[in-house]
């Protein structure tokens, strides 16, 4: 029998980081090996951008609260998320002011903030099949499987956030084929460093290979009545 991969992520610390950042929210529960809880995001009428299925407001801040040290971040199925919003959610300390932040994230200018430079110390990729003409803002436009192949096993990312279409009906709304979850989790394993994290938002716990990913947390995401309840699954890339 394969030995069980020993986690390096420390679920207790990750839950504690969230609980400190959101003290008025129901705390996440944890053991040495598992985090669980509910994020009741509430019926805020605005999502983080305009496209169908956009991240609910506050979702990214919750996730990033748990991984403040992540420097190389990939958004798979990034949708309408743009680089500035993604950077600000991940590294709030580099956004002293909105206009300065726009400078910081908009190529080609890359001023320094606290010694950190987006583009070298801070690495952020957003991948989506659709482009600006469809309201998306990827840094790389195309199929996520192709992106991972081009990256050629770079094992580059500390943190990957994935928000795929949840069903064939949703995929049809985006004008794409429903991705195969198992293929995508396999491909993402090639670009995540050992000990790196995958945070997958979906209505199912996605299929994956245990030799590549170990699940260490599951959080229910509730918006409001008549919205689908989603599951945030947390994985660690096994060595």
Ligand X SMILES: C[S@@+](CC[C@H](N)C(=O)[O-])C[C@H]1O[C@@H](n2cnc3c(N)ncnc32)[C@H](O)[C@@H]1O
Strand partners, 35: 30, 217
Give the nearest distance from C-beta 140 to ligand X in angstroms: 9
Task: Identify the residue among 18, 30, 39, 55 touching ligand X (CB under 6 A).
Answer: 55
Give the nearest distance from C-beta 172 to ligand X in angstroms: 11
SS3 of 92, please?
Answer: helix
Q: Which is nearer to ligand X, 158 or 163 (CB)?
A: 163
Strands in 186-229 per DSSP E = 192-202, 213-222
- Contact flag: residue 136 with ligand X (CB under 6 A): yes
How far from each other are the two terminal CA atoms of the chain, in whole angstroms? 17
Task: Identify the residue among 165, 196, 206, 217 touching ligand X (CB under 6 A).
Answer: 165
Task: Identify the residue among 84, 176, 222, 231 touching ligand X (CB under 6 A).
Answer: 176
How far is CA 58 from each of CA 22, 38, 47, 135, rounded to the nearest angstrom?
Answer: 11, 13, 9, 20
* Runs of H (alpha helix) within 68-213: 83-90, 98-105, 144-151, 168-174, 181-191
Q: Which is nearer to ligand X, 37 or 179 (CB)?
A: 179
Instruction: Give me the residue label for tokens 């030995």.
Output: 3
Q: How many chain residues interact with ligand X (CB under 6 A)? A: 23
Q: At 215, phi and psi to the nearest 5?
A: -75, 135
- Contact flag: residue 163 with ligand X (CB under 6 A): yes
Residues within window 76-105 making contact with ligand X, judged by CB under 6 A: 77, 79-81
Give the nearest distance from C-beta 31 to ligand X in angstroms: 29
Can you say how many angstroms the Cα of residue 178 is from the centroid of all Cα atoms in its chain?
Answer: 19
Letters for 14-53 (x = contact with ligand X by CB under 6 A, - = none) are ----------------------------------xx-x-x
Q: Are 154 and 194 in contact (CB under 8 A)?
A: no
- Contact flag: residue 125 with ligand X (CB under 6 A): no
Name the residue with the smallest CB distance to ligand X: 79
- Contact flag: residue 74 with ligand X (CB under 6 A): no
- The residues, any chain, with a CB within 8 Å of residue 142's CB and separated by 6 or more, are 127, 129
Q: Which is nearer to ligand X, 15 or 86 (CB)?
A: 86
Largest CA distance in the chain: 55
Binding stretches for ligand X (CB under 6 A): 48-49, 51, 53-55, 77, 79-81, 127-130, 136, 143-144, 163-165, 174, 176, 179
């Amino acid at each position: 029998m394969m030995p069980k991969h020993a986690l390096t992520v420390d679920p207790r610390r990750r839950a504690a980081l969230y609980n400190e950042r959101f003290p008025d929210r129901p705390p996440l529960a944890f053991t040495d090996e598992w985090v669980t809880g509910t994020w009741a995001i509430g019926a805020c009428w605005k999502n983080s951008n305009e496209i169908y299925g956009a991240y609910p407001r506050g979702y990214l801040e919750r996730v990033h609260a748990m991984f403040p040290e992540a420097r190389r971040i990939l958004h798979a199925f990034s949708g309408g998320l743009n680089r500035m919003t993604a950077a600000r959610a991940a590294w709030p300390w580099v956004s002293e002011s909105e206009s300065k932040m726009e400078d910081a994230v908009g190529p080609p200018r890359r001023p320094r903030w606290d010694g950190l430079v987006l583009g070298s110390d801070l690495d952020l990729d957003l991948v989506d099949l659709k482009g600006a003409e469809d309201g998306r803002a990827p840094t790389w436009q195309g199929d996520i499987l192709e992106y991972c192949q081009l990256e050629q096993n770079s094992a580059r990312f500390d943190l990957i956030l994935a928000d795929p279409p949840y069903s064939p009906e949703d995929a049809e709304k985006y004008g794409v084929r429903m991705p195969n979850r198992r293929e995508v989790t396999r491909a993402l394993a090639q670009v995540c460093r050992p000990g790196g994290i995958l945070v997958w938002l979906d209505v199912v716990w996605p299929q994956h290979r245990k030799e590549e990913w170990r699940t260490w947390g599951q959080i229910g995401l509730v918006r409001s009545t008549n919205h689908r309840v989603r599951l945030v699954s947390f994985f660690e890339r096994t060595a």
